[in-house]
A and B are shown apart, each in its own frame.
Chain A
Amino acid sequence: MALKVVLVGCGKIADGHIEEIQKMPKRAQVVAVCDRELLMAEQIATRYGVPAYYDDVDRMLAVERPHVVHISTPPGSHVALARAAFQAGCHVFVEKPLALNSVEAAALVADAERFGKKMTIGYTYLFDPVAVQMRELLASGAIGDVVHVDSWFGYNLAGPFGSALLGDANHWVHALPGKLFHNNIDHLLNKLIDFIDDDQPEIQARAWRQRAQTFGDSRDDMPDELRICVHGKRVSAYGTFSSHVKPAAHFVRVYGSKSIMHVDYVSRTVTLDHGATLPSAIGRLVPAFEQAMQYLKQGGRNAAAFARADFHFFSGLNRLAAMFYDSIAEGGPLPISTRDMLRISRWMDQIFGLIGTGGRR
């Protein structure tokens, strides 16, 4: 039997959720959507053929009696909405960031446990095809022991979301403790959790505002460049969030005791750098061809995925949702542990505490 899914919060990311859920009709079906602005719920219901739409969550939960609630509202409302969903007997898929801070995040996790319900979070890139490939290579010992990780997340302030928040001094992002970073660096940090197992590693962070444009209001307080350095017991990491480096890259480099792995989320490629394995000039000549062959193979792999219609933008979201639904239906483990959700939430608190509010030019 397919799970009955409802979605709360009909903003931009809601499209991605509905599109992916509708690709797995045997697992789950979207039966209703909700937004406090009924017109927003109506528009998404119309575009995706969702049978019902509401502007009142409690009423939707009472009428539809769903199994799963997807929450894609601003983070300040996550705790209350998730609690309402748990109380109504639902499992919850909540968009990142989990909450406004780690205290709220812990309360949310506690609620899930109290009501005996499952919860996951939209760490979709952890389930992208390249992330899956990366884990397979790591398990095979391809790079040896991991020493250091470099996680890079580029952001386009001129994109749909960036334009929306720069065009509105009252945009909810400006009220978040970590502002722009708060809404994005889950994607930077969650790639480290496979490598840094510490609950509370040592973290250094620095942020600033690099853009010249000024508005004379709260938007000017929003830093747009962030650098972090994380020291775990065994593995260290750098994190970069950049709004100004173009193109807006998105990758992870994993530095091992045998080789270096480059995982590129934009070109969907995973390559290994073995360095020079042959002597002298030959040793400098061969690696470029070896790299070229790896990219050729990855390109072919992507082309094959495209040919079988398995090369979608939200592949990670699809895989995560499917694993979450299977975990509900079959009683298996969660795709993302609540410990990892809470660790990232605490790291974010620490980073926002270190960078303070406002930036510098």
Chain B
Amino acid sequence: MADRFDMLLDVRNVIRMRIFFLAGAGSLALAGATMVHSARCPAQAPGTPAVISPLGGVQAQVASPFGAPAQRSGLNIVVLDPAHGGTDPGARGTGGIRESEIVLDLATQVRRALELTGFQVVLTRQGNENPSFDDRSAIANAQRGAVFVTLHISSTGLPGTVRVYVNSDLAAVTEANGLIPWDRAQTPFLGLSKKFGDLVQGMLVQRFKGSPDTALTAAVRQLRTTAAPAIAVEISSIVVEDRAELDRMAPGVADAIARGAAAFKPSYVVANVPGTLP
């Protein structure tokens, strides 16, 4: 029997669906107003590398109860999130420049740098649309062996500097039933996110003097629901007189993210059994 199978769940009658990850048991549970599903595979030994549960739309791939022991593979996907878009322009400069447009262009350069480094890149938006926070997180949560990078331009701060943020400490990850709510999907990844963030910030400070030496923490909404090592990169700032000043920073930022991801790769070994979390 194959060590995994695809399961199609018809959730048309579910008004509100919550998705949980069951830590350490190779499980994925979907709970809705009219249904509760849970599928399990044998629990993994403590210290087993991180596994991201793949979800894609209404398709959920779960481990077989008869599955073979986990095989390891490496980090190979970077989900890039150009923030804002559509009716949400983000920060706006006096010259009419918009954060949503600049980060989209920046994402193209970051993508190129990452692909040259050997990563597969998935963008949360390709044009001027504005997916919800959850939709953006879902793109990352549907990947296995991915990291998530959300790109921002600030309204404040010393121009020419770049800060990396990881999510602030969150409360206990598991509820009484051992499930991890979607609302706190980032919790098990905070340590990995911090390591990834520090590596990228370390690369950035070499190029952009005045930037912090290590990643900062903040309650970034986008990161909270992301079940992967996740960072926010924020460039200062939108108040520059000429957009070209920000465009000139793009290659350096792209290179730093690519080199940071490459440096982080050995730290993030991903098992091939979906469902478990670090």
Q: Do A and B come from one complex?
A: no
Q: Give me the interface of B with A, judged by CB distance under 8 Å.
A: none
